[in-house]
Structure 1
Amino acid sequence: MLYPILDTASNGGITINEPNSNVVGIVAASYFWRTFLENILPFGERGVVVVFNNTCNQTFTYEINGEKAKFLGSGDLHDIHFGYLNQTLTFEEIGLFSSLVGNYGGLPVDHEHCAYTVSCYPSQTMKDKHYTNNPTIFTIIACCIFIFTALVFMGYDKLVTMRQQKVMKAAIQSTAIVSSLFPAAIVDRMLAVPDDKKGGGGASMFQPTKTRLRTFLNDGEPSESSKPIADLFTDTTVLFADIAGFTAWSSVREPSQVFTLLETIYSAFDTIAARRGVFKVETIGDSYVAVTGLPDPRKDHAVCMVKFARDCRTQFNVLCSILESSLGPETGDLLLRIGIHSGPVTAGVLRGQKSRFQLFGDTVNTAARMESTGVVNKIQCSQATADLLTTFKKPHWLTPRDEMVEAKGKGMMSTFWVEPKSVAHSVTAGSTATRSNSIASGADAMDTTRISSQTERLLNWNIDVLERLLKKIVARRSAIGKEKNDRSTSIINWNRAHDKMVLNEVKEVIKLPEYNSKYNDIQNDDPDSIILDNKIRIQLREYVTAIAATYSDANPFHNFPHASHVAMSVAKLLSRIVGPDQDFESQQHLHDHTYGITSDPLTQFACVFSALIHDVDHSGVPNSQLVKEDTEVSRVYKGRSVAEQNSINISWNILIEPKYADLRKAICDSRQAEVRFRQLVVNAVCATDIMDKDLKTARNERWEKAFSTIKPAQPIPSNASRKSFGSSSPLQDRINRKATIVIEHIIQASDVSHTMQHWHIYIKWNERLFAEMYKAFIEGRAEKDPTDSWYKGEIGFFDFYIIPLATKLNECGVFGVSSDEYLNYAMMNRNEWEKKGEDVVESYVKKYKQIEHVVTPVVE
């Protein structure tokens, strides 16, 4: 840098253009631009590029890194990518800026010759130093916090809503349950807050509905703050409805079937009650109690109740007929007995354990007497109810009962039969009424339409049971494929010749399939999930219908209803095997415990099939009579198990007809399965011949081998130890032996199951057997009048056959509570027969000796 020295400098400051001054000297100074750039940036800052440029075409580039500067070279060397960020100033502008801020800006510089400009640029180094993702990160964090906060509030709102919905649902359920148990007015009073707690000091007014209700109902002791809820209703009509024959019917059913019936019936009654404005009070077993006239009084309470009773009776008959196909024979024979009485009642909530709305008073007792003294399928009402019906111009509904009724605690009472005439009878109602009138009158002859209807219901039930078992067979087959060791690939020869002497085919041990874990996953599935081909279902129906046609309706006992009754008992015992009371660690243990019966639906099908055909073409007389008469069939079978062998051959010949090809294929898909199926049927049906001494001796010997009480059978080994045994090992032989014995005893017990069921069931079938034997006697096909030995014969039958047989069922250990049930009923029936048997026989004699030809007794 060159700077002039003027002669006038001693006079003070000078200007650049001073005409009177002369240059007397020049100051020359040299310095580096680097020095000018040092100590500008703080320590740690890097990458500022400075370009010095003058009008003399000189350009120098420096990079400032912290307190030091570095010469990069001549020329403009800044990164062109950052050119748009440059800042450029001249030296004059720099000096001017310094003077403006009060700083010394240095010596003035000539801007006319080689004027300098300074340009600053960022560099990649500076960018790397200062570029950061923090803003993005902070933005994301802020958004996440916002979203999280929003979700928290939304979740909290959802939880609050769910809690409110849960509380509301619980309140609705509680209210619905309470409303179903108590009238609306009673519910309001139970949930009402006492006056002394409505103020700010009481907390109960803020309690939930359930808490207030629970507090009221569970308050077993009288409380001054909570008075009992009870009222007197002067104008009411009470109804009692009872299912006649329910106790006997339920004794031969599974608990699930009993509850299916009750739930279906009571649900229908509840629907009718809601439509008619009738209040359901309670159900006690098979009794249904309802009332009209409370809590909302109504003048026509008697008329309303009679209509309700009529609708319930009609619906009951319809439902029972429908349910017979799923719940078994004689469900359609159940009938309703209804009693009605009108008068005042005291009604209220009796608090304490299991509180409920109850009725008290003489009206309730009288209504119960109307029911108990009534007749099945009829509506009996008292004089009080009859007077109310007359008042409402319904005297044509009433028919005075011929005899007066003696009611317990009431003496002799005049009652009426009520039959509303304002409803048009449907076909179903009409047929039901015809059926009930025949039963109520005690006529021996049965209506032809009823027989057809009953047979159709029995057919439907048998078909349903067999169809469900067929579905299990198909399911097992699809799960495990062809049976192990079954190398037969040819079509099964169902028509191959069999020895007419079926007894020759009886096996001491029938080989059942071993456990297969592949069946474990599907054996508990609903059989309805399997869809059978429609041809199979049609052929099954045709076959069962053909079997039913082989039974003679002239036989009071050995007929299709009896075969169905036996099949029902077999199905019940099988269900107890498949669904035992005891829990098992695995399906393998269950398989072993039940000797493989649970794992083979073909065995179960064969048992029910055998029950269905076991008395096919029965002549109504025992084998001994057929032998004595030297009938053709007795000669064919050489006088041994004549009826049983004949039933097997007839049923088998029907089954192998060409039109049942699809049905046969569904039952057995291999030669091995067909052989096992026939062996099971032969053994089971022949087991029903309890008079053949050789068969009886053989069965007893097999029982001793399998279930010896002297030398108990060894327990079945665990899975690990049994692997060493083959399929023909003594272990497997022992399992199959027990299975064979159990199957035979299932069919034996079921054939006489009526003796091990409710007393009414026993008497009904006992009467039918008596009728059949007496019929044979008067027709000259029996030497002795059964009347002479019937009483003592039954006692001996119980002592020497029924009770020992029931005991063996218990000893088998596979039937659960059913074995105890059968044994208990056998003991009770034996004791009851010992007390009442002589009177029962006398009633048989009076009934059947007055008629020339015996017909099938009517079920009462």
Structure 2
Amino acid sequence: MASHEVTISRVLNKIESDDPNSPDFVRAVNEWNEVHVGMDSEATEPLVQFLYPIIVGNDDSYQVPMNQMHPDNSTVVAFMATSFFWRALLERILPEGQRGLAVVFHNECGQTFTYRIDGASAIFQGEGDLHNPKFNEMGETFQVSQLVDAADEATTYSGLPLSKDHCPYSLSIYPSTTFESEYKSNNPIIFTMSAVAIFVFTALVFLAYDRLVAVRQAKVMKSAVQSNAIVSSLFPSKYRERLYNDALQSSKAASNGGSYVPSKARLKNFLREGNEDGGSAGQPIADLFTDCTVMFADIANFTAWSSAREPGQVFTLLETVYGAFDKIAARRGVFKVETIGDCYVAVTGLPEPRKDHAVVMVKFAIDCRDEFVEVTRLLEVSLGPDTADLGLRTGLHSGAVTAGVLRGQKSRFQLFGDTVNTAARMESTGMVNRIHISQITATLLEEAKKGHWVKPREDQIQAKGKGLLQTYFVEPKSHNNGSKGSTDNDKDVTIEDDMNGALPTKIARLVSWNADVLSRELVKVIQARNGRGMALASKKVEWAEPSDAMVIQEVKEVIMLPPFDASVQVSDNSPLKLEEEVRTQLHDYVYSVAKLYNKNPFHNFEHASHVTMSVAKLLARIVAPDNFFDEESKNDHGMAALTLHDHTYGITSDPLTQFACIFSALIHDCDHPGVPNNQLVKEGNDLAKLYEGKSVAEQNSVNLAWDLLRDPKYAALRNAICGSQEEEQRFRQLVVNTVMATDIMDKDLKKLRDDRWDAAFHRERMTLDILQVNRKATIVIEHLIQASDVAHTMQHWHVYIKWNERLFKELLRAYQAGRSDVNPANFWYDGELGFFDFYIIPLAKKLSECGVFGVSSDEYLTYAMENRREWEKKGKSIVAEYMARYGSVSES
């Protein structure tokens, strides 16, 4: 140590790890702090000592040198120690209101501590470097000795120099977030953000405006495209321009010479409702085309087919078929004139003349026929039985055609003339899936070297005003073995035709359709179960074998359906899908059920599918009756569901009930022997003995189908159907009651049903208790299956005759085989009249009386009465035709 230097000690009250006495010393220093420093300092605040040398002066006195004027050889005899807190050095550096400078002290003795300067105050923060590292680059570091030297040079300090050898100190000054906030102004940011906000807002306004303009333009374009598409589909391009020009002239006149006419206005001008006097403005738009071929294509048996289906299914077929025809027409260059119901009208040779109009139209007709066969086969899986049996009857004729726009109400492009009438006659007298052409068209084909396509028709046809005509069928050799649709030979095909191989195509389609219908209902069952919070198959459900084979003993007067639960919501558009395992097992089960059906003309798998289709249709009418809800109920889904629940006696609220009805329809005639129950009893059949002569076929069907469902390979399917033992018991009860209801000949069962109907709907009751509601539900379900079992009698005449003939054939076959004592021909005519009078029409009236089937009940009753009238007029000749077709057998 230099003799004339001031030395700063290390921090006294910091424990030194290498000094065992350090803790006691530090404790003593802190206690001294508390006593001598006062309340303005922490006891642990770093305390240092300034050591001043004491020397012997020239006069032998002891002195503390106050400047550097003393000679260096002065003798140091002692040191004076002064205690010092570093905060004293830092106070009153910043003005009031400015805060947050961090000052870090460090000495070569390895000690570091931090202060914070807030205005005139300095506050000890603690040991170590505690400044915010964020401001490292902004820090300034000084040696304390440098500060003293600088003061000395500025003549502001005249004391002794500070020692640079013993534990020298340095200090580093840093800003803090607090200090930063004092000097940091938000005004630039605010101004910047305001400018940005104004810019963004302005940009958004322009974008919104641009978007609105684009949307409006898109709407205008869409409207124009739609208008053009409508007009294009109705009128050839040549006539569109003439119509537009007329519309433009009319609009100009109305607007005193204005030139712009919106597309909507142009469309309305020539599709308007007509003038008040019924006339039309402008010159007639019509032309004569001398060389054209007109085609009429009508869907055979369409009316009968549609009588068994919902309106939506009917339009699905028409839209699909006509859409396919339109694509072919566009490809072939054929102009579609119109569709009239189930008839498609097209023409070639206009508006642009072409020499090969006949050849092009024949090719178009062939394509349409083949496409129709393919489309209907595909649609049978979704639209049900008999869809693939539909056919296309096509007629063509060539000649002059007057074509033009017949304005007035519903203006449209139309064809007129003898050619059109003759083409329509070709269609009406043609054959299903054959292309019937006139002599003129045949001649044009021969001239085009297509004579090998033409085959003369064996018989001549009668045409109004023309007498007998020789006509022809067209069949190119490449199509001779092509698709011809279903034939009579296909009608009775069953599983037995190919037991060891793949299913016959028709039966395979029916299996897929039935599985699809059941799967849609099963999804609703699972959806409802999930809505009630029931886990799928949370407990193992025992599908035990019934202890008694006598199913008839299980029939109950009332089946208790579950009460209404507002939390259960089912939807046809649910995203829920059946698991693949369940779907596969369901399809396999339907396939196995199909194999249980025998090769009977009537009681076969096709009949079961027809009954299933009727049940599904009636259930759909239960779920959605027309004009049932008032506006308030429609807007309140919960109230609507409750109202529908009460209206339908709870049937609509329980998907399991609906599934059981469809399931029962599918299985109700399994293994039917083709003869009535009384014949089985008479023959002493083993089944008749097993079931004690009561509802033999019906009980056998239930047991066979139930045993099949209990097969271990259908475990996943069973778990999907019933999630609890209670559901299994209710499902079993529904199946038993429903299938047993199809035995309409058992007198005991009939009396039980009549009594229940009277108790449910005829007796006066002030209130409807739960038992009464479920009694009505039970009897409605049974009448639902009964009506469906004979649905053919309450559908279109052609459907009725188709199944009537099959039932006659089945009974005649039994008679010919010696399994019946009476030839059905002897009683068939009168029997059908009695069947209508005493069973069918009363049953149809009951459907209407119970009030849950909507318009379907009226539809069924109307068809039943019409069929009865037709049978009364034609029945005897029809029976004679049956006998001529299937052969008479002499009675013994």
| Range class of TM-score, shorter chain | 0.7 to 0.9
**Do the aligned residues in 1 keep the contact of 2:391 with 2:485 (CA within 8 Å)?**
no
Is structure 2 residue 241 aligned with structure 1 residue 192? no
Unaligned runs of 5+ in 1: 1-77, 82-131, 717-730, 853-860
Which amino acid in 1 is paired with 2:484? A
Partner of 1:182: 235
Alpha-carbon spacing, 1:744–1:196, altered in 2? closer, same or farther (3 Å): closer
Is structure 2 residue 674 aligned with structure 1 residue 636? no
Alpha-carbon spacing, 1:210–1:643, altered in 2? closer, same or farther (3 Å): same
Taking the aligned partners of 2:612 and 2:868, their CA distance within structure 1 comes to 24
Taking the aligned partners of 1:80 and 1:759, their CA distance within structure 2 comes to 104
Alpha-carbon spacing, 1:594–1:348, altered in 2? closer, same or farther (3 Å): same
Match of 1:492 among 514, 518, 541: 541
Taking the aligned partners of 1:539 and 1:776, their CA distance within structure 2 comes to 36
Match of 2:222 among 130, 146, 169: 169
**1:659-808 correspondence to structure 2 within 5 Å:** 659-708=713-762, 710-711=763-764, 713-714=765-766, 731-808=769-846
Partner of 1:401: 457
Match of 1:320 among 376, 387, 398: 376
Taking the aligned partners of 2:253 and 2:879, their CA distance within structure 1 comes to 76
How far has the Cα of 1:533 moved from its partner?
A: 2.1
SS in 2 for 1:638: coil
**Do the aligned residues in 2 keep the contact of 1:338 with 1:380 (CA within 8 Å)?**
yes
Taking the aligned partners of 1:682 and 1:743, their CA distance within structure 2 comes to 12
Which amino acid in 1 is paired with 2:622? I
Partner of 1:72: none
- Identify the range of structure 1 (570-579 vs 205-214) with the bigger mean alpha-carbon deviation: 205-214
Partner of 1:822: 860
**Do the aligned residues in 2 keep the contact of 1:383 with 1:415 (CA within 8 Å)?**
yes
SS in 1 for 2:484: helix
Taking the aligned partners of 1:327 and 1:738, their CA distance within structure 2 comes to 31
**Do the aligned residues in 2 keep the contact of 1:606 with 1:681 (CA within 8 Å)?**
yes
Is structure 2 residue 315 aligned with structure 1 residue 263? no
Partner of 1:565: 610
Partner of 2:508: 456
**Do the aligned residues in 2 keep the contact of 1:503 with 1:645 (CA within 8 Å)?**
yes
Partner of 1:311: 367
Alpha-carbon spacing, 1:183–1:715, altered in 2? closer, same or farther (3 Å): farther
SS in 2 for 1:811: helix
Match of 1:412 among 443, 468, 474: 468
Is structure 2 residue 436 aligned with structure 1 residue 380? yes
Taking the aligned partners of 2:202 and 2:507, their CA distance within structure 1 comes to 72
**Do the aligned residues in 2 keep the contact of 1:462 with 1:564 (CA within 8 Å)?**
yes
Match of 2:659 among 576, 587, 605: 605
Match of 2:295 among 239, 249, 252: 239
Partner of 1:336: 392
Is structure 2 residue 627 aligned with structure 1 residue 574? no
> Normalising by the residue count of structure 2, what TM-score does the alignment of the two structures yield?
0.74
How far has the Cα of 1:160 moved from its partner?
A: 3.2
Alpha-carbon spacing, 1:600–1:298, altered in 2? closer, same or farther (3 Å): same
SS in 1 for 2:274: coil
Match of 1:212 among 259, 266, 283: 266
Deviations 1:424-453 (A, max 9, x none): 78xxx83x33744968xx999999699811
How far has the Cα of 1:810 moved from its partner?
A: 0.4
Is structure 2 residue 347 aligned with structure 1 residue 296? no
Partner of 2:328: 272
Alpha-carbon spacing, 1:79–1:501, altered in 2? closer, same or farther (3 Å): closer
Taking the aligned partners of 2:819 and 2:494, their CA distance within structure 1 comes to 23
Taking the aligned partners of 2:97 and 2:750, their CA distance within structure 1 comes to 116
Which amino acid in 1 is paired with 2:809? A
**1:218-233 correspondence to structure 2 within 5 Å:** 218=272, 220-221=274-275, 226-233=282-289
Match of 1:619 among 640, 658, 673: 673
Alpha-carbon spacing, 1:153–1:647, altered in 2? closer, same or farther (3 Å): closer
How far has the Cα of 1:551 moved from its partner?
A: 1.0
How far has the Cα of 1:598 moved from its partner?
A: 0.9
Taking the aligned partners of 1:163 and 1:695, their CA distance within structure 2 comes to 69
Taking the aligned partners of 2:640 and 2:368, their CA distance within structure 1 comes to 47
Partner of 1:720: none
SS in 2 for 1:518: coil
**1:85-100 correspondence to structure 2 within 5 Å:** none
Taking the aligned partners of 2:695 and 2:369, their CA distance within structure 1 comes to 47
Match of 1:645 among 699, 724, 744: 699
Deviations 1:638-658 (A, max 9, x none): 111111111111111111111
**1:586-601 correspondence to structure 2 within 5 Å:** 586-601=640-655
Match of 2:886 among 840, 848, 853: 848
Alpha-carbon spacing, 1:597–1:397, altered in 2? closer, same or farther (3 Å): same
Which amino acid in 2 is paired with 1:542? D
SS in 2 for 1:688: coil
**Do the aligned residues in 1 keep the contact of 2:845 with 2:861 (CA within 8 Å)?**
yes
**Do the aligned residues in 1 keep the contact of 2:223 with 2:263 (CA within 8 Å)?**
no
**1:430-469 correspondence to structure 2 within 5 Å:** 430=482, 432-433=483-484, 435-436=486-487, 452-469=504-521
- Identify the range of structure 1 (655-664 vs 669-678) with the bigger mean alpha-carbon deviation: 655-664
Which amino acid in 1 is paired with 2:220? V
Deviations 1:656-695 (A, max 9, x none): 1111111111111211011001100110011011111111
Alpha-carbon spacing, 1:491–1:196, altered in 2? closer, same or farther (3 Å): closer
Deviations 1:107-149 (A, max 9, x none): xxxxxxxxxxxxxxxxxxxxxxxxx999999998887667655
Which amino acid in 2 is paired with 1:590? L
Match of 1:354 among 410, 421, 433: 410
How far has the Cα of 1:464 moved from its partner?
A: 0.6
**Do the aligned residues in 1 keep the contact of 2:492 with 2:601 (CA within 8 Å)?**
no
**Do the aligned residues in 1 keep the contact of 2:244 with 2:266 (CA within 8 Å)?**
yes
Is structure 2 residue 573 aligned with structure 1 residue 526? yes
Taking the aligned partners of 1:257 and 1:464, their CA distance within structure 2 comes to 15
Partner of 1:511: 560
How far has the Cα of 1:604 moved from its partner?
A: 0.8
Which amino acid in 1 is paired with 2:669? D
Partner of 1:470: 522
How far has the Cα of 1:621 moved from its partner?
A: 0.7
Taking the aligned partners of 2:590 and 2:269, their CA distance within structure 1 comes to 60
**1:55-70 correspondence to structure 2 within 5 Å:** none
Partner of 1:70: none
SS in 2 for 1:586: helix
**Do the aligned residues in 2 keep the contact of 1:791 with 1:837 (CA within 8 Å)?**
yes
> Normalising by the residue count of structure 1, what TM-score does the alignment of the two structures yield?
0.76
Aligned residues: 697
Deviations 1:140-189 (A, max 9, x none): 88876676555545544443333233222211110111101111111111
SS in 2 for 1:532: coil
Deviations 1:578-611 (A, max 9, x none): 1221124421111111111111111111111111
Alpha-carbon spacing, 1:302–1:142, altered in 2? closer, same or farther (3 Å): same
**Do the aligned residues in 2 keep the contact of 1:438 with 1:447 (CA within 8 Å)?**
no
SS in 2 for 1:296: coil
SS in 2 for 1:206: coil
How far has the Cα of 1:491 moved from its partner?
A: 2.5
Taking the aligned partners of 2:705 and 2:236, their CA distance within structure 1 comes to 60
Taking the aligned partners of 1:603 and 1:444, their CA distance within structure 2 comes to 32
SS in 2 for 1:321: helix
Taking the aligned partners of 2:528 and 2:280, their CA distance within structure 1 comes to 68
Unaligned runs of 5+ in 2: 1-94, 99-184, 634-638
Taking the aligned partners of 1:780 and 1:840, their CA distance within structure 2 comes to 24
Deviations 1:188-218 (A, max 9, x none): 1111266799899953531112212322332
Partner of 2:59: none
How far has the Cα of 1:407 moved from its partner?
A: 2.1
Match of 1:549 among 578, 595, 606: 595
**Do the aligned residues in 2 keep the contact of 1:191 with 1:209 (CA within 8 Å)?**
no
**Do the aligned residues in 1 keep the contact of 2:493 with 2:507 (CA within 8 Å)?**
no
**Do the aligned residues in 1 keep the contact of 2:433 with 2:485 (CA within 8 Å)?**
no
**Do the aligned residues in 1 keep the contact of 2:296 with 2:395 (CA within 8 Å)?**
yes
